[in-house]
Amino acid sequence: MIRVEELEKHFGALHVLKGVSLEVQKGEVLVIIGPSGSGKSTLLRCINLLIEPDSGRVFLDGTQVNRRDIRPEWVRQQVGMVFQSFNLFAHLTALQNVTLGPIRVLGTDPTTAGAQGRKLLARVGLADKADAYPAQLSGGQQQRVAIARALAMNPKAMLFDEPTSALDPEYIREVLDAMAALARDGMTMIVVTHEMGFASEVAKRILFMDAGRIIEEGSPEEIFHSPKQERTRMFVGKILR
């Protein structure tokens, strides 16, 4: 479904991605862990072309999409993204947040988009918050609206960039539950997270990234309990504690 080959990215003199390759099958959940600054966010942003990689290839359904003749907007339409800081549109209600993409990008008529939007909000447990503005919602509720907003574009895959790390502890569960439900429904997902419980439960594979490279890959069991690389061991030790 998503394949990445030899991605390279520099920010000025900073070499952030040093030849990253990965592949995610349809319906699979891939978790990426790694220390701060290792390039996890940059990798996700290169996959939906929010950032243009310096070199390397990004494939969606077998088609290379980081090409001059493919509009990045078209790629982003098909790969949803959920951000650490929610980024809900502050001037719109929860429902308007969810319907803006379908109405303005897909050209869905507002009535249909509204009905779909309400269904999606119900799916993340927020049917009663349709008319609330982001500032009136808790962090967990905002993040669930953000998930519904991404789903409204009917994406082929979803990228999650530390979706729970800005949340107060009491709101983490509800967001992880929404994501787990999504995974059960067969959504293809790449998730940057340090929630080990979630990773063990939902992901088949985990990638450990450090300093712009994928250092180790394995099942949750392997990565969390018997990592091969010293750096993985040290990092896992830290997040376990």
Partner 1 sequence: MATTVAVPTRSSALRVRVSKTAIRGAEMAVGTILVILILQTVLRFNLLDEDLWKLYLPSFLDGIVLSLRYLGIILPLSVVIGFTIGWARISRFRTLSWPLSVFVDFFRGVPPIIVVIFAAVLGPSLLPARFQSQDIGIIIAALTLAMHSGAYQSEIFRAGFMSVPRGQLEAAQSLGMTNGAAMRFVVLPQALRLSIPPLANEFAVVIKDTSLLAIVGGFELFGSSFIFEQQILFSPGNQLSWIFVVWTAVALVYFVMTFAVTELLNAIDRRYHVKGLEAVTV
> Does residue number 41 form part of the binding site for Mg ion (CB under 5 A)?
yes
- As measured in angstroms, the least distance from the Cβ of 14 to ligand ATP is 6
The pair of three-digit structure tokens given for residue 104, joined into one six-digit string:
């303005």
CA dihedral for 127, 142, 40, 9, sign (positive or negative) = positive
Crossing angle of helices 110-123 and 94-101, rounded to 10°: 120
- As measured in angstroms, the least distance from the Cβ of 125 to ligand ATP is 27
Binding at 132: pick from Mg ion, partner 1, ligand ATP, none (beta carbon under 5-8 Å per type): partner 1
Alpha helices by DSSP H, 152-225 = 169-184, 196-202, 220-225
Position with the least CB separation from Mg ion:
41
Binding at 14: pick from Mg ion, ligand ATP, partner 1, none (beta carbon under 5-8 Å per type): ligand ATP
Alpha helices by DSSP H, 48-195 = 72-78, 94-101, 110-123, 139-151, 169-184
Which is closer to ligand ATP, CB of 20 or CB of 148? 20
Residues that bind ligand ATP (CB under 6 A): 11, 14, 16, 34, 36-42
Which is closer to Mg ion, CB of 39 or CB of 102? 39
Whole-Å CA distances, 119 to 20, 27, 151: 37, 22, 11
Binding at 218: pick from partner 1, Mg ion, ligand ATP, none (beta carbon under 5-8 Å per type): none
Residues that bind partner 1 (CB under 8 A): 48, 50, 73-74, 76-78, 80-81, 83, 85, 87-91, 93, 100-101, 104-105, 131-138, 141, 146, 149-150, 153
Crossing angle of helices 94-101 and 139-151, rounded to 10°: 20
Which is closer to Mg ion, CB of 147 or CB of 209? 209
Beta carbons of 237 and 208 less than 8 angstroms apart: no
Binding at 48: pick from partner 1, Mg ion, ligand ATP, none (beta carbon under 5-8 Å per type): partner 1
Which is closer to ligand ATP, CB of 4 or CB of 148? 4
Beta carbons of 130 and 121 less than 8 angstroms apart: yes
